[in-house]
Amino acid sequence: MPGSLRDASLNRQLLELAAEQMKGEAELVIFDEIEDLPLFNAELETDPPDPSVARWVQALQEADAVLIASPEYNGSITAALKNALDWASRPNDDAPLDGHLVAVMGASPSSRGAAGGQQVTREVAERIGAEVLDAELLVGRAPKVIEDGDLVDHELQGQLEALVGALLKATAKRLGTDGPS
């Protein structure tokens, strides 16, 4: 899921690179509707006013794992991502994100690679009950290292491969499809 709404989002491009990296081992479905999700309102929780909420819940229920790529906005996560996570946290006793495996990555123009935003994403997802992978990917100087949808920095490319590999491995372990140990 991208935390940015921009068509040209660098974080969205990062997700597309992760999808390529899966090389047919898994399918990465990008949930493109976070901008359609209404602002969370507890009074509307049982009967959400927009079908995008049901589609978001269904996407999470069908996913074996969730990969979040988000920019950092003012030291935190984007409002759109927080809103999507709030919907994913309800109802409290059956939250769609609860128990899910989550991996986090992010891109920003600064050298910190959206580190602060990733930390907040991690904390919110864990609060909801997700298991968040320790591995993460911080893509700093993103407009320079993501060129026409390619990651041109070899070290970062290796880190992306490592993150995707760790996510696939952890997912296979949960599904019991990782073969004999």
Ligand X SMILES: Cc1cc2nc3c(=O)[nH]c(=O)nc-3n(C[C@H](O)[C@H](O)[C@H](O)COP(=O)(O)O)c2cc1C
Tell me which residues touch ligand X (CB under 6 A): 4, 6, 9-11, 71-75, 108-110, 112, 114, 142
Least distance (Å) between residue 129 CB and ligand X: 26
Nearest CA-CA partner of 4 in 60, 98, 84:
84
| CA 17 – CA 105 distance, rounded (Å) | 12
Q: Which is nearer to ligand X, 91 or 143 (CB)?
A: 143
| CA 91 – CA 146 distance, rounded (Å) | 38
Question: Is residue 7 within 8 Å of 35, Cβ to Cβ?
Answer: no
Element (H, E) at 174: helix 154-175
Q: Which is nearer to ligand X, 6 or 144 (CB)?
A: 6
Least distance (Å) between residue 117 CB and ligand X: 7
Q: Which is nearer to ligand X, 11 or 159 (CB)?
A: 11
Least distance (Å) between residue 54 CB and ligand X: 26
Least distance (Å) between residue 65 CB and ligand X: 21
| CA 36 – CA 80 distance, rounded (Å) | 9
Q: Which is nearer to ligand X, 101 or 138 (CB)?
A: 138
Element (H, E) at 59: helix 51-62
